[in-house]
Amino acid sequence: MSVRILSADQMRWADMTTTEAGISGFELMDRAGRAVADAVLDYMPDFGRVVIVIGPGNNGGDGFAAARYLRSRRIPVTLVMLVPLDTLGGDTLMHAELAREAGAKLRDASSDRCFAELNRWLLRAVMVVDAMFGTGLTRPLSGRLAKAVAQINQADRPVLSIDIASGLNADSGEVMGDAVKADFTLPVAAYKWGYWMGVGPEFSGRLLPASAIGVEDETLCRAWAAVPDPSVSKGSTVLRSACFIHSDMIGQAWPKRHRLSHKGNFGRVWIFGGSAGFTGAPRLASLGALAAGAGLVSVVCPDDVYPVVASGSLETMVHSQSSGAWMREGDGLIDQADAIVAGPGWGCAQTTLLARLLDVDRPLLLDADALNMIAADAALQSRVSERDSLTVLTPHPGEAARLLSCTVDDIQSDRKKAVLKLCKRYACWVVLKGNETLIASPQGDVMLNPSGSPQLAVAGSGDVLAGMLGRQLAVCYRNDTDVGMMLGAGVGLHGEAGEQNGWYLAGELAGMVAGLRQGIERKHGD
Ligand SMILES: NC(=O)C1=CN([C@@H]2O[C@H](COP(=O)(O)OP(=O)(O)OC[C@H]3O[C@@H](n4cnc5c(N)ncnc54)[C@H](O)[C@@H]3O)[C@@H](O)[C@H]2O)[C@@H](O)CC1
Ligand SMILES: Nc1ncnc2c1ncn2[C@@H]1O[C@H](COP(=O)(O)OP(=O)(O)O)[C@@H](O)[C@H]1O
Ligand SMILES: [K+]
């Protein structure tokens, strides 16, 4: 299954490259149509009529091809054409003719008189297929096309959109005029950003696996370099690749535990955080690290909160900041760290210690107040971008706005652009949190996390994530594991835990993470 994400122009380039390599546009449409028919058969609630609403471009061609395959399974099909047949392209026309020969009813709704029938046709359907527009939408829907969308949405029938819900911009996820509210979207050949950007998730319904229509994976991968991503600007890293986080990636990060393994095998994470009024954050981060499988977790917190943090930490070793032993030159305990997390609940008076940590040759994750201190201090900013060891920033949109000196709206209006700008500015890995968390490498490899839920919008869930990712970085340091895979798996597991029932508060989320992680490790043993 492809997990690639392309822009509309990149997809067009990949389609064109594929046809130049010898697979005709007619054949690509045919394969897309077969995949649509299979999906309709899988998800139609009952045997009955399928109404396919056809637009002016190749998306409509996929709809005609689907009609023929549905007819071959004896499904009654009505094809409703929103533009006159004689305006359609050659491949689409050929598929229209074949669909008619196969017994699909063609209904011309391109004139006002016939359009009045649309509602009646829609109400006869057990399922509606939206083949109005795909990646070729260039301007807002208006007139009869916008009315057709409104009627599809009012008809209250399950809707499957081919490639993308019509009216949704395939790159930005903006609604252009109006958009179909799909129950299912079947991506053609690869995924499009519009499913997740903007309001895309509210219109895309359930995303089905992308249909393999014969566009080679290698062609999809070349498209990123061949056609610039629309979010790339002068101040951002160039997007080199894009995929979404999937269960295989999550599985790879937690192999089966060896029978004789002990806690020393699973990485040591050091967490710097906590301040008066914020004693829970480092504890939650340490729970996150342990839940993700870290062997040993140490917390260093300011002296005034040491008694509180230490007394509330059963599984963690806690040091007070002034005790000093942990950072003694040569034999300090911190030399044993495989990764360091700095920031949860730390307050903004820790610039000296933060500067010291930036010099430690270990993977370093900077979260929360560490990010706020960096945002306010040009010297720290230079030290971050000049660091040789692995550095990861985990801002939420508010912190990201501070780091880029812009507004939260600027960040949220194009999150992909924001994450690529942060990479360029700080020359490190960035995890931009929020609904559909984005991860980007300094080289411009972007991963999108489709899992998670608003359940995660509870105090402390980000602290749990920081600790989890600290554990992931510890594994990278010890085993030289792929950083993108480990961060992607950490963010993916955090999101999956967030989707489960049975937890309410951030501490319980860590318990949920631990349970899921153990389940994955045990599965490898079957
Ligand atoms: N070879 C290919 O390009 C393939 C394309 N495929 C399908 O074709 C789709 C892309 O095809 P197209 O590029 O033809 O794009 P669309 O099918 O999205 O339609 C584009 C057409 O609609 C018109 N249009 C755009 N916005 C409009 C608006 N607001 N009001 C009225 N007309 C408007 C454009 O002028 C153009 O004629 C994909 O999403 C996919 O479903 C698949 O069949 C696979 C192969
Ligand atoms: N609406 C949402 N949908 C999906 N994930 C969310 C949502 N709101 C928050 N999250 C996730 O929850 C976590 C919250 O992190 P953060 O904002 O740092 O919270 P805190 O500082 O309270 O720990 C992030 O991983 C974020 O991606
Ligand atoms: K569509």
172 plus 273 within the same structural domain: no
Binding residues for (6S)-NADPHX: 58-62, 134-140, 163, 281, 345, 396, 463
CATH code for the domain in which residue 217 is found = 3.40.50.10260
Residue given tokens 């028919």 in the structure block: 37
- Is 236 contained in some domain? no
Residue given tokens 């912190």 in the structure block: 399
Dig out the tokens for 139 from the structure.
């301007």
CA angle, 345 then 350 then 355, to 5°: 120
208 plus 279 within the same structural domain: no
203 plus 327 within the same structural domain: no
Binding residues for AMP: 433-437, 462
63 plus 87 within the same structural domain: yes
15 plus 42 within the same structural domain: yes
Identify which of 461, 496, 499 to mutate to test ligand 2's pocket (most ligand atoms within 8 A of the CB). 461
Q: Where are the alpha helices (DSSP H) in 273-391?
A: 280-291, 306-311, 351-359, 368-375, 378-386
- Report the pLDDT value the prediction gives residue 526, as an integer from 0 to 100: 55
Residue 45: other Cβ atoms inside 10 A? 9
514 plus 389 within the same structural domain: yes
467 lines ligand 2 (CB under 6 A): no
pLDDT tens track for 160-196: 999 999 999 999 999 999 999 999 999 999 999 999 9
465 lines ligand 2 (CB under 6 A): yes
102 plus 185 within the same structural domain: yes
- Report the pLDDT value the prediction gives residue 261, as an integer from 0 to 100: 83
- Is 15 contained in some domain? yes
Considering 171, 202, 229, which residue would you say is the last residue of a domain?
A: 229
The residue type found at 148 is A
**Ligand in closest contact with the CA of 25:** 1
ipTM of the complex as predicted: 0.92
70 plus 179 within the same structural domain: yes
pLDDT beneath 70: ranges in the chain? 1, 525-526
Q: Count how many domains the chain has.
A: 2
- Is 421 contained in some domain? yes
CATH code for the domain in which residue 248 is found = 3.40.1190.20
C-alpha 381 chain-centroid distance:
27
Dig out the tokens for 323 from the structure.
């005790």
Q: What SS3 class is residue 449?
A: coil
Atom 15 of ligand 2, residue of closest alpha carbon: 462
Domain that holds residue 495: 244-523
Is the CB of residue 175 less than 8 Å from the CB of residue 153? no
214 plus 255 within the same structural domain: no
- Is 235 contained in some domain? no
Compute, in angstroms, the gap from residue 132 CA to the centroid of ligand 1. Answer: 8
Is the CB of residue 172 less than 8 Å from the CB of residue 199? no
Q: Compute the mean pLDDT over every residue in the chain, rounded to the nearest whole number.
A: 95
Dig out the tokens for 301 from the structure.
């917190």
**Ligand in closest contact with the CA of 162:** 3
59 lines ligand 1 (CB under 6 A): yes
434 lines ligand 2 (CB under 6 A): yes
Compute, in angstroms, the gap from residue 248 CA to the centroid of ligand 2. Answer: 23
What residue ranges in 377-517 does DSSP mark as E strands?
A: 391-393, 429-432, 438-440, 445-448
Considering 197, 229, 261, which residue would you say is the last residue of a domain?
A: 229
Binding residues: 58-62, 130, 134-140, 163, 166, 281, 345, 396, 433-437, 462-463
Residue given tokens 């977790």 in the structure block: 297
Closest CA to 85 of 74, 72, 94, 76: 94
- The DSSP H or E segment spanning 486 is helix 483-499
Instruction: State the burial class of residue 371 (Cβ atoms within 10 Å of its Cβ: 0-12, 13-18, 19+).
Output: buried
pLDDT tens track for 455-493: 999 999 999 999 999 999 999 999 999 999 999 999 999
Compute, in angstroms, the gap from residue 166 CA to the centroid of ligand 3. Answer: 4
Identify which of 26, 28, 34, 58 to mutate to test ligand 1's pocket (most ligand atoms within 8 A of the CB). 58
- Is 269 contained in some domain? yes
Compute, in angstroms, the gap from residue 32 CA to the centroid of ligand 1. Answer: 13
80 plus 208 within the same structural domain: yes
- Report the pLDDT value the prediction gives residue 200, as an integer from 0 to 100: 97
45 plus 97 within the same structural domain: yes
- Is 238 contained in some domain? no
- Report the pLDDT value the prediction gives residue 447, as an integer from 0 to 100: 98
248 plus 161 within the same structural domain: no
136 lines ligand 1 (CB under 6 A): yes
CA angle, 126 then 129 then 131, to 5°: 160
Dig out the tokens for 82 from the structure.
């929103």
- Is 170 contained in some domain? yes
298 lines ligand 1 (CB under 6 A): no
- Is 237 contained in some domain? no
Considering 229, 263, 288, which residue would you say is the last residue of a domain?
A: 229
**Ligand in closest contact with the CA of 184:** 3
DSSP assignments along 487-525, one per residue:
HHHHHHHHHHHHHSSS--SHHHHHHHHHHHHHHHHHHTT
- Report the pLDDT value the prediction gives residue 184, as an integer from 0 to 100: 98
- The DSSP H or E segment spanning 5 is strand 5-6
